[in-house]
Amino acid sequence: MTAREARIVRVVPNGPILVEGPVCIELPDGAVVESDRFMVAICTCRRSKNYPLCDTSHRRRQKPPADSSAQNAVPQNAVSQSAATQN
């Protein structure tokens, strides 16, 4: 057995898995995808048109954070309308 240097794999939250290349990816159907790039992004959202390689499709479909201040903000006209109905 030949000693190999470990590859670095980074998992990006809400994004791809980054693997130091080159890589050879074997899919469940037996198809093989190869990339000789120095860093390869592997899709985890399955929206990529270039699956299993990431094409950044995940960026266009992210949900806003649950604690977003925009979600909790009260529209200005809602305050003035409710105040007007109380008079």
Q: Where are the domains of the chain?
A: 1-60
CA dihedral (69, 70, 72, 77) positive or negative = positive
pLDDT digits (tens, 9 = 90+) for 8-31: 999 999 889 999 999 999 999 999
pLDDT digits (tens, 9 = 90+) for 38-56: 999 999 998 999 999 999 9
- Residue 63: the pLDDT is 60
- Separation between Cα atoms, residue 42 and residue 19, nearest integer Å: 8
- Single pTM value for the model: 0.61
- Residue 82: the pLDDT is 41
Nearest to 24 by CA among 12, 16, 36: 36
